[in-house]
Structure 1
Amino acid sequence: MLSPLRLAISFLTIIPLYNKKAENQELTRSVSYYPVVGFLLGSIAAGVSYGLRTLGLTLAADVLAVVTMIILTGGLHLDGLMDTADGLFSGRSVERKLEIMKDSRVGAMGVIAFITVLLLKVSFLFELSLAPKLTALILAPTAGRWAMVYAITRYPYARPTGGLGACLKQAGRWQLAAASIFFLAVSLALMGPGGLGLVGLAVLGTVVTAWYISKCIGGMTGDTYGATGELIETWTLLAILLGQQLGII
């Protein structure tokens, strides 16, 4: 159990808990633990937010909570978001879109996507009261990593020559089931019955996002896994904010 969890943490963050070369079977098992990694990242970010608020900070606390997750992940998923935006909105052929996404240079659409997502995350967090805010900080990255598992297990890999994300394609329904059980359990523990609604909205957002990306490029890639995670994080924050405003949570 601890070995695939360490591998998942090392794969999705800058924390080097797994230092040997991973076999395909180990990579497959580690996919189940992606939402656990999201939960750990969110818990750290929530702790940062709470600690800074005890010092009287408000907006700065929200910004630094988001920055904490960016630092801990090395900006990996945001990089995927930028590459995905550059490719998907280029208006080119599928082959050219995939080439653009592989290019390390960032274009205008990537910058716009990066800024938009960060602004939305910070603004949604700022509007939340303390208790829902801490819950949102924990559940948003958990939902985002669950969405990555869904994309990995439900859609083919788009690049015919393979890539970093191709090694994860042996993951299937058992990994998705394990990830889903954890996501549901955490949501119910933190939100009670309202957690069911949140999970439902996260699933809806993930299904639509993954379908649209796959429709555009014929599948998913490592970049689009990260983009899906970032978009569902943002969607989850919005869902919790709307729940607060409507008096549901």
Structure 2
Amino acid sequence: MLKSFRLALSFLTILPVYKKMASSEELARSVSYYPLVGLLLGLAAAGINVFLQQLGLKLSADVLSLVAMMILTGGLHLDGLMDTADGLLSGKNREGQLEIMKDSRVGAMGVLTLGIVLLLKTAFLSEINLDLKVEALIIMPVAGRWAMVYAITRYPYARPGGGLGNCLKQAGLFQLLVASLTLLVICVGLAGLHGLAIIIVILLAALGIIRTIYKRLGGMTGDTYGATGELIETWSLFVILLGQQIGLL
């Protein structure tokens, strides 16, 4: 368990806690702990936010907490978001979209999508009350990484050849169950019964996003896993903000 968690932490962040060459089976087992990695990222971001709020910072505290999360992940998922946007919004057929996503260069659609997502995250987080902000910063990365697990375990890989994302396809129902239980415990622990409502809305959004990508590409890739995580993070902040505004949270 600890070995798999360290591998997940090393894979999803810049923290060098697992330095050995991992097999496909080991990578697949580590998928179970993606939401737990999200929990650590959320705790770090929330801690930074609370500390800076104590110093009198407001918007700057929100921005810096999001930046800290980006730094800790090495921008891995944001890179996938940009590549996915370049491919899906290119107007080309399936093969053309996959080819564009393989290109390391970033196009206009990728930059535009990145800017929109970062602006939305900042705007949503800044509108959330201070007493809810810690919950939001923790739930956001947990939900995003759960969505990645769902995409990995329930949808086929889009590329016929190998690839790092393809190594994760050995993950299955057990990994999804562990990840789902982690999401459930964290959301309910932080938001009580309202956490169940948050999970349901997140699940519906994840199904819509992943299904849309699947229809366009015939499967998922490493880039679309990252894109899914980023979009669900953004959606989670919006859901919590909406819950606050209508008096449920």
TM-score range, shorter chain: over 0.9
Deviations 1:149-192 (A, max 9, x none): 00000100000112110000000111000000010000000000
Structure 1: distance between partners of 2:27 and 2:206: 22
Please name the residue that 1:153 is paired with: 153
Q: Could you tell me which amino acid in structure 1 is paired with residue 28 of structure 2? A: T
Give the whole-Å Cα distance in 1 for the aligned partners of 2:154 and 2:145: 14
Counterpart for residue 176 of structure 2:
176
TM-fit CA distance, 1:206: 0.5
One-letter code aligned to 1:120: L
Structure 1's unaligned 5+ residue stretches are none
SS at match of 1:98: helix
1:223 aligned residue: 223
Question: Cα distance, 1:93 vs. partner?
Answer: 1.1
Mapping 1:134-213, distance limit 5 Å: 134-213=134-213
The reply to whether residue 53 of structure 1 matches residue 53 of structure 2 is yes
Q: Does 1:23 align with 2:23?
A: yes
Once residues 236 and 149 of structure 1 are traced to their aligned partners in structure 2, the CA distance between those partners, rounded to angstroms, is 16
Aligned pair count reads 249
Q: What amino acid maps onto 2:82 in structure 1?
A: M
Q: In the alignment, what sits opposite 1:97?
A: 97
- One-letter amino acid of the counterpart of residue 37, structure 2: V
Map 1:5-154 → 2, pairs under 5 A: 5-154=5-154
Q: Which residue of 2 aligns with 1:243?
A: 243
Question: Counterpart of 2:97 in structure 1: which amino acid?
Answer: K
Q: Which runs of 5+ in 2 are unaligned?
A: none
Distance 1:132 1:101 in 2: 37
State how far apart, in whole Å, the 2-side matches of 1:109 and 1:131 are. 36
Q: CA deviation at 1:25?
A: 1.7
Supply the distance in 2 between the matched residues of 1:43 and 1:113 (Cα, whole angstroms).
Answer: 26
Write the letter of the residue equivalent to 1:184.
Answer: L
CA distance in 1, matches of 2:145, 2:132: 20
| SS of structure 1 residue aligned to 2:85 | helix
Structure 1 vs Structure 2: percent identity of aligned residues? 63
Alignment-mate amino acid for residue 246 of structure 2: L
- Which amino acid in the other structure matches residue 66 of structure 1? L
SS in 2 for 1:169: helix
Shift of 1:9: 0.3
Equivalent AA in structure 2 for residue 176 of structure 1: L
Cα distance in 2 between the residues matched to 1:164 and 1:214:
18
Post-superposition offset of 1:104: 0.5
Q: Residues 5-46 of structure 1, C-alpha deviation per residue, up to 9 Å, x if partnerless?
A: 000000000001000010122111100000000010011000
So what's the TM-score if we normalise by structure 2? Answer: 0.99
* Amino acid corresponding to residue 203 of structure 1 in structure 2: L
CA distance in 2, matches of 1:106, 1:152: 24
